[in-house]
Amino acid sequence: MSLGRKPELLCPARDPEVLRAAVDYGADAVYIGGEAFSLRSKATNFTRDQIAQGCAYAHKFGKRVHVAANILAHEADIEKAADYFKELNGLDIDAVLVADPGMFMLCREYCPGREIHISTQASLTNHLSFDFWYRQGAKRVVCARELSLEEIKSIRHKTDPGLEIEAFVHGSMCVSYSGRCLLSNYFAGRDANRGECSHPCRWKYAVVEESRPGQYLPLEENDRGTYIFDSGDMCMIHRLKDICEAGVDSLKIEGRMKTPLYVATVARAYRHALDDLFEDEEKYQAKVPEYLREIKKCTYRPFNTGFYYGRPGSEGMKQAAGDYLSGAVWIGIVEKVRGAEASFIQRNRFFVGEEIEAMKRDGRNIPLTVASIRAGDGTLVQSAPHPLEDLSVTFVSASGAPAEGVLEPGDVLRRIDS
């Protein structure tokens, strides 16, 4: 079967710093949330000016910016939503993502000419539903996460070629149907369908039998506890051929709460995997172990392939669930370079003499050793224990020579976790 046209790689951004990392490390498009009506209210999100600046940065490199407004709106939201869409219409955004039919109508009225994409939150699982939204004027539909690849193939075959299909390939999988969860409402009074999810699916649970009050019965556990609702993280980097052959137009990375390290790591790995696949399938297959190693150099949960190959069995989900794993620790993003010295805002603790890895956009990972750390007041220190310090750090290369000409602004610095 033909791979067809190379799909877009769509990455998340919680703030302007992550947007730049996504663009720099390989995204074709970035999806973000404004200060209202996004399903990630706990993310930093973007002000009006930051959306404008983010669009300017992305467009400079030929990339796109999609703005999510995909809450399930209540009556009190409607008037404010109309004003919000009017505001978005004055910005150079490329698309708006909605889930609610009322929000769709408002977006169509107040953002004329903008692409409208239908969110996975709309739970669309058949070709008639896809066709319905296309006839209303939607440019793209995001597949419900419960669809198999065979179902996506069938939907692609039965829908108009002008309708774009987007599907998740990496990131957190919600325990509830396409993210329509009420656990957060029940336990924490925070509405997951309005951007306030408290992630109770990742809490630890036990079973209590009615006649044995206070006696907690063990479930399948690891040494960190039990996560009976936690479905782990999806990863399709080793199955890209399958999803491309299904006719998907956009490959979506989940994670609008994630750090620049996470987004840069995942974006770069998928960028190279996708380009290698379309250049030479044998080259791609040979490098799959390398992609999988790279994709784990950030914080993640055990991987699975979601519903793409059928409904996950209990054993498969058991293997997928669990606590977060960490392949690397984010140190910072280089802002300025002077010879072998780099200035950046430090994000996690590191020491003089420690090895730090620099992520390059072309896929290289450069090992460097911290030779000296200078605090913001010019004082030389042996360690940087406190996050958000403004530091100037001198590095040496593996040979021991000053690392001049190695770093450049935008490089992500990380410490590999053993």
**Residue 113 DSSP class:** T
Least confident of 61-70, 230-239, 358-367, 381-390: 230-239
The two tokens of residue 307 are 């519903």
Q: From residue 69, give the alpha-carbon distance in Å to each of 30, 49, 101, 140, 337.
A: 14, 17, 12, 15, 38
Element (H, E) at 31: strand 29-33
Compute the distance between CA of residue 76 and CA of residue 356 in angstroms, rounded to an integer. 50
224 Cβ contact partners less than 8 Å away, ≥ 6 residues apart: 322, 323
Q: What is the pTM of this model?
A: 0.88
Q: How far is CA 46 from the centre of its chain?
A: 16
Tokens read off for 23:
């663009």
pLDDT at 200: 74
Q: What is the 3-state secondary structure (H, E, C) of 48-99?
A: HHHHHHHHHHHHHCCCEEEEECCCCCCHHHHHHHHHHHHHHHCCCCCEEEEC
Q: Is the pLDDT of residue 228 over 90?
A: no
- Comparing 146 with 63, which gets the higher pLDDT? 63
pLDDT in tens, 167-184: 999 998 776 666 667 777
Q: Is the pLDDT of residue 270 over 90?
A: yes
CA–CA gap between residue 47 and residue 407 (Å, rounded): 31
Type of residue at 137: G
Q: Which residues contact 156 (CB under 8 A, 6 or more apart)?
A: 165, 246, 247, 248
Q: How far apart are CA 340 and CA 406, in angstroms?
A: 8
* pLDDT number for residue 344: 97
**pLDDT at position 317, please?**
45
Q: Is the pLDDT of residue 118 over 70?
A: yes
Contacts of 60 (CB under 8 A, 6+ apart): none
pLDDT value of position 417: 81
pLDDT one-digit tens code per residue, 277-336:
999 999 999 999 999 999 999 988 889 999 999 876 544 444 444 567 889 999 999 999
25 has pLDDT over 70: yes
Confidence of residue 235 (pLDDT cuts 50, 70, 90): very high
Alpha helices in 99-192 (DSSP H): 101-110, 127-136, 149-158, 183-188
Residue 358 pLDDT > 50 = yes
β-bridge pairing 8-12 and 29-33: parallel
Whole-number Cα distances in Å, 278 to 28, 245, 267: 15, 12, 17
More confident residue, 177 or 370: 370
Q: Which residues 6+ apart lie within 8 Å of 206 measured at CB?
A: 216, 217, 218, 219, 226
pLDDT at 388 over 60: yes
* Residue written as token pair 């498009």: 29
* DSSP E strands, 284-411: 299-300, 303-304, 325-326, 328-333, 336-338, 341-345, 350-351, 355-359, 365-374, 380-381, 383-384, 390-396
**Cβ contacts of 347 within 8 Å, gap of 6 or more:** 259, 330, 331, 332, 387, 388
Q: Which domains does the chain possess?
A: 8-178+232-297 (3.20.20.70), 328-416 (2.40.30.10)
